[in-house]
Structure 1
Amino acid sequence: MTSEEQTVSLVDVLEEDEELEEEASAVLAGSDSDHCSYPQGYVKRQALYACNTCTPKGGQAAGVCLACSYKCHEGHDLFELYTKRNFRCDCGNKKFTDLQCKLCPEKEEENTGNKYSHNFFGVYCTCSRPYPDPDDQVEDEMIQCVICEDWLHGRHLGCVVPDCVELQEMICESCMNQHVFLWTYAAHLAGKSPSSLRKRLDKTHFYVTKTENSFQSTDQEVATAIKKDEEVSLHTNCESRCLVFIHKEAEPDCRLKELEAIAQKRVQSGAVFWPSGWRSKLCSCSSCQTSLRESGLSFLLDESDTVLAYENKGKNNEQRQQGNDPLMSALDNLNRVQQLEIIHEYNDMKTELKDFLHRFAAEGKVVTPEDIRQFFEQQQSRKRGRVNTGQFYCT
């Protein structure tokens, strides 16, 4: 291997490191990396892996938690599944003929509540291809469906991928067609939906008859309210020179039924992207709750079920862990003089390393392993020189 093959761009290293750190924070920090999640039952959402070494294609699909991927499947060929909901760790059950879980050996033979897909064999999307795909030269992001949790290429969704897609949830066309009531919601909540959705759900209908063009002040307020579609209570004014009849309809028991009655249509094809907060607008009447439960979609009423909520939990966990940094704890056990000496040494090294790397960046050069080795050798030499200068001997 030549020296050129061993070198990398400093910018590439920094960007890749930052990207990997953010991804790890979002996915992994929300799960326990030390203890098998099996005792927790069907975890609401967690990072999962499939082991191609232990359960290859042709066998039974199985998933393992984050901790088991580290402790029980180290060095194995793993498929990263990102996160899945309501899943119980399979590691060591009957699907693993030659492996016993090191963290939680006492497990049932099978987790009947788990749901599996082709993702557990390392393929994704309607095209059933691996990711990354060595044979695919098209740069395309993959987006996870809220319901089936499969990952699909943007170009295979059958719709235009919106801007700020990371702030929206997506339901694939297959899941939309499987749960057809979602198309009714999509006509009002997704895409170019009316801004007056709330008014449509809570609107009071008014019928007005006017006998003269002039209004008393109270009647004028009512007329203004009616024109703005604002809700007002029954109002009559016998002394006024006009007569206003106001009829207030009872609020519907089911939002879904009212939306169906409006009969607003949209093309029922392609995936659907849902804006932030759309789950809170779904009907939660007893009938709809029963239907969602029977369809296995009760989680749609839970705004904390989202991947974004999971990622925020992981980031909060990481911040708490950083607050308990072992290095800072060690510093607390040192006296004031020792603390100042260590902080001084750290700041010196950070400044010198920054200046060292800045020279490479300014000249457009790459940093080689030999450059880094020489830098730290110089640091050690300077440190030894400072120590030797400060030594005194008695004769």
Structure 2
Amino acid sequence: MSEEQTVSLVDVLEEDEELEEEASAVLAGSDSDHCSYPQGYVKRQALYACSSCTPKGGEPAGVCLACSYKCHEGHDLFELYTKRNFRCDCGNRKFMELHCKLHSEKDEVNSLNKYSHNFFGVYCTCSRPYPDPDDQVEDEMIQCVVCEDWLHGRHLGCVVPDCVELQEMICESCMNKNHFLWTYAAHLSVQVKEEREADQSNTTLPNKEEQGDEVIEPSCKRSREEAEPSCRLKQLQAIGQKRVQSGAVFWPSGWRSKLCSCITCKECLSESGLCFLLDESDTVLAYENKGKTNEQGRQGHDPLMSALDHLNHVQQLEIIHGYNDMKTELKDFLQRFAEDGKVVTPDDIRRFFEQQSRKRRRDDAGRFYPT
């Protein structure tokens, strides 16, 4: 018989804290009470697709966080993480009989929304669901910052660098659709920087040809009047590319600020639908930080204390004493495990709260209420 799987209390607390942080990062940046439709095409928000209302074969549609709670409770939802420049579809023509409970007046369609196979619950170039019950390979999924599809690390066509959570990725397909990005990749991408460091460590006296983008340093020393009309992209193109143009590209923090923002390049980005690449606040990391900040602000005002404000003094004391009693009993309960050197299992925690529930019922049954 296999030994029962156990976890330590530290493991439970750390996992719980990580899950709370992830949820805060994604959800706290979006409004959970009001439909986002009146805000138009929201810069970035948490989105869901409802397979109960828009099954595969129908039209793709996305709903905001609040509508996922209020209008699609109990439905089969696909979590899309976040998408940019999207307007909530809930209750429009795509939903047939369902009407949005939070905002009734909506256009039949949101023509500027962009959809992908993610809205039908499949991801990556392999078009598989996540989690995939038929896939036994442990592999993280990484979102492309351009098409916003999620891809398996093993399907990116490149080695995934360390600290990938701090970097942005553009998939090979999006790189090839916007070929000028390969020029930037030759000088800014994570992989190239690592390769260059390795080359320099094996070379005693590198010449100018081997120094890659080091050649463009003099242009940075020009006066502002001379530098403003220049195009950074053209400068990089003149140096030449040394990067193999295949596989996904990972970009380091702050890489967007190094893109050229001259008039010609801005027009090119606009025509390609990539203007957001010049916006540092467009990044998922910026959105997550906003969510964490919002959550910390909410935590500053304890909801328990808010609820107590509406009760009389006797009721407040009863609740506070009950809370303190439970906290003390939980501490004593866990202390016994610590003294015996045992780990706490999920069943142990479940039994504790079942005992607390039975105790409350006994106390309530024996309590005398005056008429």
Which TM-score applies when normalising by structure 2? 0.82
**Alpha-carbon contact 2:25-2:292 (below 8 Å) kept:** yes
Cα separation, partners in 2 of 1:347 and 1:294, compared to 1, 3 Å: same
1:310-338 per-residue CA deviation (whole Å, 9 max, x = no partner) reads: 01111111112122333223556789999
Task: Answer 1 or 2: which has greater helix percent.
Answer: 2
1:239-278 per-residue CA deviation (whole Å, 9 max, x = no partner) reads: xxxxxxxxxx943610000000011310000000000000
Q: 1:213 aligns to what?
A: none
Whole-angstrom CA distance in 2 between matches of 1:347 and 1:199: 64
Q: Residue 95 of structure 2: SS of its match in structure 1?
A: coil
The reply on whether 1:255 has 2:215 as its aligned counterpart is no
Query: Which of 316, 339, 349 is the aligned partner of 2:293?
Result: 316
1:326-377 per-residue CA deviation (whole Å, 9 max, x = no partner) reads: 3223556789999899767645532431231243363235316333322565
Query: Which of 218, 233, 244 is the aligned partner of 1:203?
Result: 218
Q: 1:197-236 residue pairs with structure 2 within 5 A?
A: 200-203=215-218, 231=221
Whole-angstrom CA distance in 2 between matches of 1:28 and 1:141: 21
Q: Which has the larger radius of gyration?
A: 1
Whole-angstrom CA distance in 2 between matches of 1:53 and 1:101: 15
Report % sequence identity.
75
Q: 1:1-395 residue pairs with structure 2 within 5 A?
A: 9=7, 11=9, 13-191=12-190, 192-193=192-193, 200-203=215-218, 231=221, 250-251=226-227, 253-330=230-307, 346-347=323-324, 349-360=326-337, 362-364=341-343, 366=345, 367=348, 369-375=350-356
How big is the shift at 1:127?
0.3
Counterpart amino acid of residue 87 in structure 2:
R
Whole-angstrom CA distance in 2 between matches of 1:100 and 1:343: 42
1:195-246 per-residue CA deviation (whole Å, 9 max, x = no partner) reads: 9898654515xxxxxxxxxxxxxxxxxxxxxxxxx9599xxxxxxxxxxxxx
Whole-angstrom CA distance in 2 between matches of 1:332 and 1:377: 28
How big is the shift at 1:24?
1.2
Whole-angstrom CA distance in 2 between matches of 1:377 and 1:30: 39
Give structure 2 stretches of 5+ with no counterpart: 198-210
Whole-angstrom CA distance in 2 between matches of 1:158 and 1:313: 32
How big is the shift at 1:294?
0.8
1:128-147 per-residue CA deviation (whole Å, 9 max, x = no partner) reads: 00000000000000000000
Whole-angstrom CA distance in 2 between matches of 1:310 and 1:303: 10
Whole-angstrom CA distance in 1 between matches of 2:60 and 2:337: 49
**Alpha-carbon contact 1:8-1:368 (below 8 Å) kept:** no
Whole-angstrom CA distance in 2 between matches of 1:13 and 1:53: 34
**Alpha-carbon contact 2:51-2:77 (below 8 Å) kept:** yes
Whole-angstrom CA distance in 2 between matches of 1:96 and 1:137: 35
Q: Residue 234 of structure 2: SS of its match in structure 1?
A: helix
Q: Residue 93 of structure 2: SS of its match in structure 1?
A: coil
Range 40-49 or range 328-337, more displaced: 328-337
**Alpha-carbon contact 2:6-2:343 (below 8 Å) kept:** no
Q: 2:202 aligns to what?
A: none
How big is the shift at 1:9?
4.8
Q: 2:203 aligns to what?
A: none
1:126-180 per-residue CA deviation (whole Å, 9 max, x = no partner) reads: 0000000000000000000000000000010011111110000000000000000
Whole-angstrom CA distance in 2 between matches of 1:301 and 1:232: 23
Q: Residue 84 of structure 2: SS of its match in structure 1?
A: strand
Whole-angstrom CA distance in 1 between matches of 2:22 and 2:29: 12
Cα separation, partners in 2 of 1:278 and 1:197, compared to 1, 3 Å: farther
Count of residues in correspondence between the two structures: 343
Which TM-score applies when normalising by structure 1? 0.77
Whole-angstrom CA distance in 1 between matches of 2:360 and 2:212: 66
How big is the shift at 1:61?
0.5
Q: Residue 360 of structure 1: SS of its match in structure 2?
A: helix
Give structure 1 stretches of 5+ with no counterpart: 205-229, 234-248, 389-395
Whole-angstrom CA distance in 2 between matches of 1:61 and 1:292: 27
Cα separation, partners in 2 of 1:334 and 1:146, compared to 1, 3 Å: same
